[in-house]
Amino acid sequence: MESSSALETTIDKILDQTQKNILSSINLALTDAQKTLDNAIPRLEQEYDKIISDGKKEADKIQKQIVGSSDLEARNKHLLALEKAVENVFTKALEQIANAQRNGDYANLIKSLLEKSTNILGTTQVIVYTNSKDKDLVKSTLSQFSGAELSAETIDCLGGVIVKSKDGAMTFDNTIDARIERLKPLIRKEIASKFGVGN
Amino acid sequence: MTEGGVQYSKIAEIKGPLVIVDDVENAAFDELVEIETREGERRLGKVLEVGNGKAIVQVFEGTTGLSISGTNAKFVGKVMEMPVSKEVLGRVFDGLGRPKDGLPDPIADKFIDINGEPMNPEQREYPKDFIQTGVSVIDGMITLVRGQKLPIFSGSGMSHNLLAAQIARQASVVGTQDDFAVVFAAIGVQYSEAEYFRRSLEESGALKRSVLFLNLADDPAIERIITPRVALTVAEYLAFDLGMHVLVILTDMTNYAEALREISAAREEVPGRKGYPGYLYTDLSTIYERAGKLNGKKGSVTQVPILSMPSDDITHPIPDLTGYITEGQIVLGRDLFRQGVYPPVNILMSLSRLMKDGIGEGSTRADHGEISNQNYDAYSRAQEVRALAGIVGKAGLTEIDLKYMDVGDVFEKEFLSQATDENRTIDETLSILWKVVSKLPKNELTKVKDKFVEQYYQEK
């Protein structure tokens, strides 16, 4: 009986001790877990902030991409539409020039074109080319330029003259087409300004 | 300039990129010339020399296919001009400033001589405003300021083009509502690279505020002489007429210098170092000195020219002479590149001379200068320790040496390394700089004031 009671006491002691150990381990684990959780919260918050900030950056980037490309697309369509309008105005203007009356003003223009061309080339010993419409007018004006000859060959242009030195070394293109080509960027700007662009 | 428009048909000689025209009476230096081939094709050129009835014309689009008979040279009577207006933003041009994007010529607000007008030195304003590139190593340690010229010295095959595109996409001015624009001039680049630049700006939405000039590797070399000049002309217009802050990226200036050498050789000039003309320095300065700010003008032109050093040789005439003109340099390192670090900036060889004026309280953050110096110091020490470890082994190092080695690794992995689409704010950059030096004990931070250490040191 006695030995059995001693055994029970011992067992109780061991159980007690084990219970204490287990409880202590549980408490320790609980504290550790709590600590880990406490430590994790700021890290989690940091991670959360980073994810939010990265997301914001990505959203900004995508917004910029979408807005940027749409703006450009719209601008490019506007540019093409403007160019088409400018070209239309140009074509109409050229048609008007081509059909212009060969009157006194035009004769003065031809004279001044010939004067300018011979001045630039530094000689009146030149061969002059013009279109079939202006041939007679140019021929009569050339009498004022000694040594200048009209070529039998005609050229395809709106008006004006091409002047070539007799040795063939120098040529000056003073046709209306060439003058328009030289001034085209300025004329385009002028036409565009009528559409309210570049003011 | 003389009255233009006369066409001459006596071609005396065609030599390399040069055409010598005979019996020319009224031509002027730098005058624009239209060369017409027998087939009616037109090419542009400019007068290099006039005298004794002859004019030497440099043909931008090359002389291939030209013959003495049947070629005409028309002297236009003006220098080469670039039509400019706000509409150039978002456009792509070729190396001579002609549209390359299928759109019409921009309606010009002005026509500006591409050689630019020299800036009056007395009118220059000292550059001191920060530009954020979003690239940590540049913003944190080689800070770029508005109006500065800061070249990137690279080597063949290295990631300078990636870096250039990243800067173009991300660069911005902080703390102001002023408009910002990027002018990007690609000089002699491959088609794939040009496409990368274009697509990269387009996809990031940055093309809207950019102007691209693309001179491809298979375009005539002589065109490269013009590309940086047309780009800078547009930049100056945007900056000083429209009041924008403009960042000009010129890549690759080595190709520009090669083109200059080609012309010089064709003109039979006495060659200087490595065959480059003796006036290479003067010529480069006519490009680099077009950066700056002017008193009373709102805008600024900042330049980042990129040049690949032949054989990675920093003493080569191109980087050497560039370094004399510019205000510092960003050097890319082959070792870092081989390790896969991007951007592979060799911080110990790099320097921004104007950095100190563009950072600190009111610009970036009060601790910027000091934390940058501390990192420079720590990384420099880390390199020494690495060299020592190569001899005595890690076991022979002291505890503090090991910490410096650690700093070197963290510096390269976390600060230097950055994704090509990662845009870091200056605060993020400075925070990483603090993270790097926080690997060291506090008493090692001798370049930073205690109050900053207390505020920013990151305890483990």
DSSP strands (E only) in B9-150: 11-15, 18-21, 31-36, 42-51, 54-59, 72-79, 81-84, 92-94, 110-113, 124-125, 130-132, 144-145
Q: H-type helices in chain A, by residue range?
A: 2-98, 104-121, 135-142, 176-194
Report the run of H or E that residue B303 belongs to, with start and end. strand B300-309
Q: Which residues of B touch A185 (CB under 8 A)?
A: 83, 105, 108, 111
Q: Is the pLDDT of residue B402 over 90?
A: yes
CB contact under 8 A, B107 and A178: no
Q: Give the span between the Cα atoms of B372 and B415, in whole angstroms.
A: 12
Tens digit of pLDDT for each residue in A138-195? Answer: 998 888 888 889 998 989 988 889 999 998 889 999 999 888 888 888 888 888 888 7
pLDDT, one tens digit per residue, over B41-52 is 889 999 998 988
B305 to B60, B145, B293, B459: CA distances (angstroms): 22, 14, 17, 40
Instruction: State the best of A60, A171, A190 to mutate against chain B, taking most chain B CBs within 10 Å.
Output: A171
- Asked if the Cβ–Cβ distance from B5 to A178 is below 8 Å, we say yes
Q: What is the DSSP pairing of strand B54-59 with strand B42-51?
A: antiparallel
Q: Residue B209: closest CA among chain A residues belongs to which residue? A: A68
pLDDT of B384 strictly over 80: yes
The residues spanned by each domain of chain B are: 6-78, 82-358, 368-456
User: Mutate which of B1, B3, B6, B34 to disrupt the A interface (most A C-beta within 10 Å)?
Assistant: B6
| pLDDT of res. B433 | 96
Question: Chain A residues within 8 A (CB-CB) of chain B?
Answer: 57, 61, 64-69, 71-72, 75-76, 79-80, 82-83, 86, 120-122, 168-174, 178, 182, 185, 188-189, 192, 197-198
Burial code (b: 16+ CB inside 10 Å, e: under 16) for B186-207 equals: bbbbeeebbebbbebbbebbbb
pLDDT for the residue numbered B3: 59
C-alpha to C-alpha distance for A16 and A35, rounded to whole angstroms: 28
- pLDDT confidence band for B268 (50 / 70 / 90): confident
Query: Would you say residue A40 has pLDDT above 80?
Result: yes
Residue B419 phi, psi dihedral angles, 5° rounding: -70, 155
Phi, psi of A146 (to 5 degrees): -70, 135
Angle at B185 between CA B183 and CA B187, to 5 degrees: 175
What is the enclosing helix (H) or strand (E) of B170?
helix B160-170
d(CA B139, CA B134): 7
DSSP alpha helices (H): ranges in B332-449?
334-338, 355-358, 368-392, 399-410, 426-437
What is the distance in angstroms between the CA of the first residue and the CA of the last residue of chain A? 118
What are the phi and psi torsion angles at B445 (to 5°)?
-85, 80
- pLDDT at position B276 is 94
Which has the closest alpha carbon to B346: B336, B356, B338?
B336
Task: Read off φ and ψ for residue B293, nearest 5 degrees.
Answer: -130, 150
A79 → closest Cβ in B22, B87, B423: B87
CB contact under 8 A, A197 and B107: yes
Which tokens in the block code for residue A133? 């419409």
Q: Which one of B25, B81, B107, B432 would you mutate to disrupt binding with A, by most A Cβ within 10 Å of its Cβ?
A: B107
Query: What are the residue boundaries of the structural domains of chain A, listed by start?
Result: 1-99, 102-194
**Contact indicator for A162, A52 with CB cutoff of 8 Å:** no
Long-range contacts, A123-127 (Cβ 8 Å, 24+): A123/A147, A123/A165, A124/A148, A125/A165, A125/A166, A126/A163, A126/A164, A126/A165, A126/A166, A127/A151, A127/A163, A127/A164, A127/A165, A127/A166
Structure token digits, residue A176 = 């209306």
Give the distance from residue A142's alpha carbon to the nearest chain B alpha carbon, in angstroms. 20
Residue B158 pLDDT more than 90? yes
- What residues of A are in contact with residue B206 (Cβ under 8 Å)? 64, 68
How many C-beta atoms surround the C-beta of residue B251 within 10 A? 28
> φ and ψ at B55, to 5 degrees?
-130, 130
For chains A and B, count residue pairs whose Cβ atoms are closer than 8 Å: 85
Per-residue exposure over A93-129, b if at least 16 CB sit within 10 Å of its own CB, e if not: eeeeeeeeeeeeeeeebbbebbebbbebbebbebbbb
List the single residue in A79, A185, A197 with the smallest CB-CB distance to B111. Answer: A185
Of all residues in chain A, the one with the smallest CA distance to B77 is A182
- SS3 of residue B60 by DSSP: coil
Residue length of chain A: 199
- Selected residue with higher pLDDT from B15 and B141: B141
> Residues B335-352: what's their mean pLDDT?
95
Compute CA distances B13 → A49, A128, B76, B287, whole Å. 71, 28, 20, 31
CATH no., domain A102-194: 3.30.2320.30
Q: What is the CA radius of gyration of chain B?
A: 25
CA distance A135 to A153: 10
Shortest alpha-carbon distance between residue A159 and chain B (Å): 17
What pLDDT digit, counting tens, does each position of B47-85 carry? 998 988 899 999 988 888 888 888 999 998 888 899 999
Are A171 and B108 in contact (CB < 8 Å)? no
Give the mean pLDDT of A17-45. 92
* CATH class given for the domain over B82-358: alpha beta
Confidence band of B162 (pLDDT split at 50, 70, 90): very high
CB pair distance less than 8 Å for A192 and B107: yes
Residue A98: predicted pLDDT = 82
Residue of B nearest to A163 (CA): B6
Helices (H), B173-316: 191-203, 227-236, 253-266, 280-288
Closest approach of B9 to chain A, Cα-based (Å): 5
Sequence-ordered list of residues with C-beta below 8 angstroms from that of B426, at least 6 positions apart, any chain: B130, B132, B139, B140, B174, B364, B365, B368
Res A104: pLDDT? 77
pLDDT in tens, B197-226: 888 888 888 888 999 999 999 888 888 999
Task: Output DSSP code: residue B348.
Answer: G
Nearest CA in chain B to A65: B205
Q: Would you tell me which residues 3-22 of chain B have a C-beta closer than 8 angstroms to some C-beta of chain A?
A: 3, 5-10, 22
Hunting for tokens 């976390």 — which residue is that?
Answer: B414
User: Which of A177, A189, A190 is best to mutate for the B interface (most B CBs within 10 A)?
Assistant: A189
Q: How many CB atoms lie within 10 A of CB B104?
A: 16
Asked if the model's pLDDT at residue B1 lies above 50, the reply is no
State the DSSP string of B243-285.
--EEEEEEETHHHHHHHHHHHHHHTTPPB-GGG-BTTHHHHHH
Q: Which stretch of B83-97, B197-211, B240-254, B282-296 has the lowest confidence by average pLDDT?
A: B197-211
Cα nearest neighbour of B22 on chain A: A169
CATH T-level topology, domain B6-78 = Thrombin, subunit H (2.40.10)
Residue A172 pairs with which residues in a beta bridge? Answer: A163, B6
Contacts of B336 (CB under 8 A, 6+ apart): B344, B345, B346, B412, B416
Length of chain B: 460
| Residue B228 to residue B240: CA distance in whole angstroms | 18
Mean per-residue pLDDT of chain B: 91
Best mutation site among A49, A70, A75 for testing chain B: the one with the most B CBs within 10 Å?
A75
Confidence of residue B279 (pLDDT cuts 50, 70, 90): very high
Q: Is the confidence at residue B176, as pLDDT, over 80?
A: no
Q: Are A178 and B85 within 8 A, CB to CB?
A: no
Cis geometry, peptide bond prior to residue B178 (ω within 30 degrees of 0) = no
Q: Which residue of A72, A83, A121 is in closest CB contact with B6?
A: A121
